[in-house]
Every structure is written in structure tokens, then in C-alpha cells.
């Protein structure tokens, strides 16, 4: 067998690199599994039968295509750009996460893996994975931080009902980051039998590419739908960014269309101090966390910082590497939205349109509410409404004193 070639320059373009970002920063034990996964995915991608099976499931099981809805009342209230909502919230299990869970679940089955593990923050990826595993007859274990188990309790119960074992994680910040570390420890230990179904466009190659590909369907549909409805491309696409999967899925097909602004919204949390938010592009610096080189919230000794967001799904110290590259190249813009503004947007959307968004998605809605009034009525904003807010009723009842 040929020797592995070590590139002279780490930024040299290779599979799994987005500019200088991405790569594979993992313990050696996992490399073989990542190679196996990359190989299996490359084959599945080219396999018409696999793609057809996935397309059927996305249509009849998950409910694709999702509508592109013109939010007429919200648009009129704001008096500026037209606002459309891409309704990922209407998907089975309540968020975009099912696109990826079905894709990777099928892949796990194809690879002959019987046991699936996953991490979850808001619990949406956990519920999507639990559902996919029930559907494919796979054993499923989901790691979830103790803090998230408490604030997204409904999703914990849903996962259990679906036959999944939910394992609480009590280390570190007890949120998504710690759930990923624990899932990776499980994977290192059980790598020969276990499929790690990672839930965002994060982690070591091939995950950021593969997860993005499974969510690309969002921007494929969106492009066709907006051309049908408006006969032209939108002014901007706005999406919240936790790890970055719904955003990259909504952006991807528009990257070559340079006139379309791509706006990612990070969690501004309680304020700009380190530890109070999850705005990686504002407070972070390039570094390595959990397999990938990207922007990371960290202290000046390279220790990973604590984060805060009212939304569990955005509460993470790093961001998918493709977003880091889109940020540095200037192709996408990243802003942040604080907790209070996101909660206001939940209420606003609920009361003007009768749509209850997930608090994650409300961060993107808030950005549309902020910028629409100053834009001409001929402009079009599309918000990727990544999920619905049913899971957040506990937090909303408390925060809004319902």
C-alpha cells in the first residue's frame, strides 16, 4: 500500500478542507472509521438506488418539499422587504434535522451498523435520530447535556418513547459540546460496531460535507420555489447558526449567486462577555475543537470557553468549518441576536402569522424583523424557519410568564 502523503502546507486544498478550515483532528483510533465512512458515503452518493430511497423517505415520511410561505402580515407590519419563510418547521419531528438523520440512518444501515449513537442539544437532532433508528430498526443511544435535558425535557421523553436510550452528560458545561465529547468517547470505544450520527455540519471530515449535502435539499427547493413565485432570486437568505447545518443547507445552492446575501445569525445570549453568548465570529478565534479547525470561543490559554444561549441548539463554542470559510471570504455575513430579541421574535411571529418558531429559528426571524423595514418593498428576504417551537413551551412559559 502507498504511504500517506503529508502535505507541505496544511492549508493545501484537500478533501474536507474549506479554505484553511475543516480537516480531521481526532484520536488515531477514529481515523479508520472516518475513512470507512467517507468511502461508504462517496459510494452511496453515486448510487441511484440509495438516492431514490432517500428521496422517497424525504417526501412521504418527512414531508418534503416544505412550503415557501409568504409572510404577508409580518411583511405589511414591517413595511419594507417582502419576507418569506422556508417551512422546515413543518417537517416530521419538527425541524430540519430529519433531513440529515434519514440520510445518515440509511447510510448506517447500508454499512451494516446495528448501533447508532448521536449527540443532541435542543433534542431535535436526538428526536430525528431516534425516529430514523426506529424506522430502520437500529439500536440508538443519544448523549445530551444535563442542562439541555432539563430545558428540553419534552424531547427527552419523545426520544425515550421512540425506544432510544438517552444518556445524560454531567461534565463541563453540560450542554451540546459535552454531549459531543461523550459521544466521541463512546465512538472511540465501540467504533467497530457503532455508527456516529453527528447532527450538524461539524466535526471531522467527512461530516461537515456529508451533513451539508443532506441539507442541500433546502436550498434546492428554495431556489425553484422563489423563482416560481417571484421570478427572481431573493435579496437575502437568513438562517440561525448553531453548528451550521440548517444555514449551510439553506445557503449552499446560492453561494455562486453573488447578488444573494447570505446572513447567518449566531446566539448573542445575554451579552458580549466571554461565556455569555455563542457568537463565535465576534468572540472566537480559529482553533480546534472536536475534530475540526474553525472559529472557537476560547480563553487566551486555548481552553474552550463556556457559552450561553436561551436556545440549546445554538449554545455551542464552535461553528461548522464551511461557515468559517464563508465568513473569511466575505461571501456570507454573520450577525448575532441576543436572547431577549429572539424571544420577542417568537412572540411576534406567533401573533402575526400564527406560527410558533423554535427559539433557535427565532434568531433568524429577529434579523429579518430588524433589517426588513429599511429595505425597499422590492427586496425579498427568505428566513429559513429551521424548526417549530413546541419543544420550547417550558422555556417560553417561564420566560414569557404565560
Partner 1 sequence: MPIRFDHKPGLVVYLTAGDPSLDATCEIAVAAIDAGADVIELGVPFSDPLGDGPIIQRASERALARGTRLRDVLALAREIRAARPAAGLVIFSYLNPMLRYGLRKFTDDAAAAGADGVLAIDLIVEEAAEYLAEMSRVNLAPIFLAAPTSSDARLEAIAKYSKGFVYAISRVGITGTQKSITADAKALVERIRRYTRLPVAVGFGISNAEHVAQVAEFADAAVIGSAIVELVENSTAATAPGAVARFIKGLRLRDAALAR
Q: How many residues bind partner 1 (CB under 8 A)?
A: 48
The three cell numbers of residue 43 are: 459510494
Catalytic residue among 82, 97, 174, 391: 97
Query: Which of partner 1, ligand PLP, none binds 10 (CB below 5-8 Å, type-dependent)?
Result: partner 1
As a whole number of angstroms, the distance between CA 159 and CA 136 comes to 15
Q: Which of residues 153-172 bind partner 1 (CB under 8 A)?
A: 171-172
Name residues whose C-beta falls within 8 Å of residue 288's C-beta, 6 or more positions apart in sequence. 25, 296
- 28 touches partner 1 (CB under 8 A): yes
State the Cα–Cα distance between residues 175 and 137, nearest whole angstrom: 28
Q: Where are the alpha helices (DSSP H) in 171-314?
A: 176-190, 207-230, 245-251, 280-283
Rounded distance between C-alpha atoms, residue 168 and residue 179, angstroms? 8
Residue 303 DSSP class: P
118-177 binders of ligand PLP (CB under 6 A): 121-122, 124-125
Cross-sheet strand order for the sheet of 21-25: 17-18, 21-25, 291-296, 285-289
Stretch that binds partner 1, among 161-169, 232-240, 293-301, 340-348 (CB under 8 A): 293-301
| 361 annotated active-site | no
State the cell numbers at 5. Answer: 502523503
Site for ligand PLP in 200-219 (CB under 6 A): 200
Q: Is 282 a catalytic residue?
A: no
Site residues (CB under 8 A) for partner 1, limited to 303-342: 303-304
CB of 140 to partner 1, least distance (A): 21
C-beta separation of 391 from 123 below 8 A: yes
Q: Is the dihedral of CA 75, 77, 78, 80 positive or negative?
A: positive
97 among known catalytic residues:
yes
Cβ at position 314, least distance to ligand PLP in Å: 6
The one of partner 1, ligand PLP, none whose footprint includes residue 243, by CB under 5 to 8 A per kind, is ligand PLP
Is 381 within 8 Å of 236 (Cβ atoms)?
Answer: yes
CB of 246 to partner 1, least distance (A): 24
Q: Which CB sits closer to ligand PLP, 244 or 284?
A: 244
What positions carry a catalytic annotation?
97, 119, 386
Positions in the binding site for ligand PLP (CB under 6 A): 95, 121-122, 124-125, 200, 240-247, 313-314, 358, 360-361, 386-387
Amino acid at each position: 500500500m502507498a504511504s500517506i502523503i503529508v502535505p507541505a502546507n496544511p492549508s493545501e486544498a484537500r478533501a474536507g478542507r474549506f479554505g484553511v478550515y475543516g480537516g480531521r483532528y481526532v484520536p488515531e483510533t477514529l481515523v479508520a472509521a472516518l475513512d470507512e465512512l467517507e468511502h461508504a458515503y462517496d459510494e452511496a452518493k453515486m448510487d441511484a438506488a440509495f438516492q431514490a430511497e432517500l428521496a422517497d423517505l424525504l417526501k412521504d415520511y418527512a414531508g418534503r418539499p416544505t412550503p415557501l410561505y409568504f409572510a404577508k402580515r409580518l411583511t405589511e407590519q414591517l413595511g419594507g422587504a417582502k419576507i418569506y419563510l422556508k417551512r422546515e418547521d413543518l417537517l416530521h419531528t419538527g425541524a430540519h434535522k430529519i433531513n440529515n438523520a434519514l440520510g445518515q440512518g440509511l447510510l448506517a444501515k447500508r454499512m451494516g451498523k446495528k448501533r447508532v449513537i448521536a449527540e443532541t442539544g435542543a433534542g431535535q437532532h436526538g428526536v430525528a435520530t431516534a425516529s430514523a433508528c426506529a424506522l430502520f430498526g437500529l439500536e440508538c443511544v443519544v448523549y445530551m447535556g444535563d442542562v439541555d435535558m432539563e430545558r428540553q425535557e419534552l424531547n427527552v421523553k419523545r426520544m425515550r418513547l421512540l425506544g432510544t436510550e438517552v444518556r445524560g452528560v454531567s461534565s463541563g458545561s453540560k450542554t451540546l459540546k459535552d454531549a459531543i465529547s461523550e459521544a466521541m468517547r463512546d465512538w472511540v470505544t465501540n467504533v467497530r460496531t457503532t455508527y456516529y450520527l453527528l447532527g450538524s455540519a461539524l466535526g471531522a471530515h467527512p461530516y461537515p460535507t456529508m451533513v451539508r449535502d443532506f441539507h442541500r435539499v433546502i436550498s434546492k427547493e428554495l431556489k425553484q420555489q422563489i423563482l416560481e413565485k417571484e421570478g427572481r432570486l431573493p435579496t437575502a437568505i437568513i438562517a440561525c447558526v448553531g453548528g451550521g447545518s440548517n444555514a449551510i443547507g439553506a445557503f449552499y445552492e446560492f453561494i455562486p449567486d453573488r447578488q444573494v446575501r447570505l446572513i447567518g445569525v449566531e446566539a448573542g445570549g445575554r451579552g458580549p462577555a466571554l461565556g455569555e453568548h455563542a457568537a463565535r465570529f465576534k468572540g472566537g478565534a480559529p482553533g480546534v475543537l472536536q475534530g475540526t479547525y474553525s472559529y472557537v470561543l476560547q480563553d487566551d490559554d486555548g481552553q474552550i470557553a463556556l457559552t450561553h444561549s436561551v436556545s440549546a441548539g445554538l449554545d455551542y463554542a464552535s461553528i461548522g468549518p464551511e461557515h468559517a470559510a464563508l465568513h473569511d471570504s466575505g461571501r456570507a455575513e454573520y450577525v448575532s441576536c441576543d436572547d431577549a430579541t429572539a424571544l420577542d421574535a417568537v412572540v411576534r411571529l406567533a401573533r402575526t402569522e400564527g406560527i410558533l418558531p423554535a427559539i433557535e429559528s427565532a434568531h433568524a426571524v429577529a434579523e429579518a424583523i430588524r433589517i426588513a423595514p429599511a429595505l425597499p418593498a422590492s427586496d425579498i428576504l427568505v428566513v429559513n424557519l429551521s424548526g417549530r417551537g413546541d419543544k420550547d413551551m417550558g422555556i417560553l412559559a417561564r420566560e414569557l410568564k404565560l
